[in-house]
Structure 1
Amino acid sequence: NGRGGGPRPAPAENPDDRGQPGCTNNERRRFFLMLDQGGLVDAYRCKAGSEFNMEQAAFAAGPHFSWRGSRGSDIAERGRYYGKGMRIDHLLVSEELMARVADAQILGRGPEAKGFLGSDHCPMLLTLLPSP
C-alpha cells in the first residue's frame, strides 16, 4: 500500500509494450488508429507501392529507412545500433491531398548514412502537383 515506507508495486507490464521501440504492438496500433481517425495516409508507403516489400526492407542498405543507428566512436561497427535502420519518420497527408502527391522520397541510404547530413534521421521529400 506504500504507507509502510516500502515502494508501491509497479503496475502490471503490458506485453504489447515489449519489443523494439517504435515497433511494439501498442505503438503500431496507436499509429494506425491515428491514421484512421485523422483521415491520413502514409504518402511514402503509397508511392513506394510495389517497390516496397519486406524482403527489400529487411536489408539495412535498402532505401526505406529514415533513421540509422550511429557509428561507434572509434570503429563504426562498435556502435550499438550501427547498421540498423527504421522508418520512423513519415510523410503523412490527408486522403484528399494524396491525389496531388507526385512523389515521396527518403533521401538517405545505407548503414554509412549517405545523405543523412550529420543526423541519425535523413531528409524526406514530398513533391505535390499544383492545385487544380
Structure 2
Amino acid sequence: MKFVSWNVNGLRASLNKGFLDYFKETDADIFCVQETKLQEGQINLDLGESYEQYWNYAVKKGYSGTAIFTRIRPLSVRYGMEEDFESEGRIITLEFEHFYFITVYTPNAKRDLSRLEERLVWEDRFRHYLQQLDKQKPVIACGDLNVAHQEIDIKNAKSNHGNSGFTKEEREKMTNLLDAGFIDTYRHLYPERTDIYSWWSNMPGVRARNVGWRIDYFIASARLASSITDAQIDCDILGSDHCPITLTITS
C-alpha cells in the first residue's frame, strides 16, 4: 500500500501548479493534504470514481483544513480528536480493518511563540489520542507536524534553536510521542541521511540553496516497522512551500 501526504498551502493554488499531475503519477492508495484553505463548496475536485473524498474544513475562511482521498472505503470516519468539535479542521481519522489512518496539521507556535503553550497542550492530547487508537489496532499518522525533531532535520540548527518549530519544548514533545510506541518512518529507514527537507521559506533563493526543515512526517506504530518497505521525500516536486512525502508498506 502506498500513502502520500502533502501540505499544499492552499489547494486551489496548488491545482494551478501541477497538483493533479503529481496525484495521478503517484497512484497512491491513500493521498492526504493539509492546509487546504477551503470552505465547503469552494472546489469540485475530480479525482476519478476510484477515490472517496473526506474533508475537514476550518470555520475561519482561507485557513488550515485537511482532506483525505482514499481508494479503500473506511469502516468509520472521525473529524477532530476524541469526540470534540475542532474548529480549525486539523485532523481526520479513517478506520480500516487492520489499522487507523490519521492526517494532521499541527498548530504552529507562531514566530513570537505566543501560541506555544496552546501547542504543547495540543501535543499531549494528540499523543494520548494516538495511544488510545493504538490499543485497538496499529496507527499510521501523517502530515505537517510543524517541528524539526533533531538537528539533522534542519539546515541551520544552531541559529534556529529556540525558534518556532525548533524549540526545546516542541522537540521534546516529538520525542515523547516516539517514546510512546511510535516510529518516525523516514528516520527508521534513513537514520543518518542529511540535507533532506520537506519545507522551505518563501524568501528568495532559500529553496534553491536547500535551506530547509523536515517538518512533515509519517508516524507509525512501532509494530508496523517490519512492514515498511519505502519512505521518501519528493523534494523536487513544487506547487507549495512544502513537498510531498510518501510511505509504502506491505499490505
Give the shorter-chain TM-score range. Answer: 0.5 to 0.7
Give the alignment partner of residue 19 of structure 1, picking from 162, 180, 187.
162
Alpha-carbon distance in structure 1 between the residues aligned to 2:198 and 2:237: 10
Alignment of 1:37-116 (within 5 A): 37=180, 39-50=181-192, 52=193, 57=194, 62=195, 64-71=196-203, 76-77=204-205, 83-108=210-235, 114-116=236-238
| CA deviation after TM superposition for structure 1 residue 21, in Å | 1.5
Amino acid in the other structure paired with 2:223? E
Deviations 1:84-105 (A, max 9, x none): 2000111101011111000100
Amino acid in the other structure paired with 2:179? D
Alpha-carbon distance in structure 2 between the residues aligned to 1:26 and 1:107: 28
Q: CA RMSD in A?
A: 2.2
| CA deviation after TM superposition for structure 1 residue 22, in Å | 1.1
Alpha-carbon distance in structure 2 between the residues aligned to 1:84 and 1:27: 21
- Contact (CA 8 Å) 1:69, 1:83: kept in 2 or not? no
Identity of aligned residues (%): 35
| TM-score computed with the length of structure 2 as normaliser | 0.33
Amino acid in the other structure paired with 1:27? E
SS in structure 1 of the partner of residue 231 of structure 2: strand
Aligned residue for 1:124?
245
Alpha-carbon distance in structure 2 between the residues aligned to 1:93 and 1:83: 27
Amino acid in the other structure paired with 2:243? C
Change (3 A) 1:49 1:31: closer
Structure 1, unaligned runs of 5 or more: 1-17, 109-113
Amino acid in the other structure paired with 1:66? S
Aligned residue for 1:5?
none
Give 1 or 2: higher strand fraction: 2
Aligned residue for 1:3?
none
Alpha-carbon distance in structure 2 between the residues aligned to 1:105 and 1:83: 17
Alpha-carbon distance in structure 1 between the residues aligned to 2:173 and 2:241: 24
Aligned residue for 1:14?
none
| TM-score computed with the length of structure 1 as normaliser | 0.60
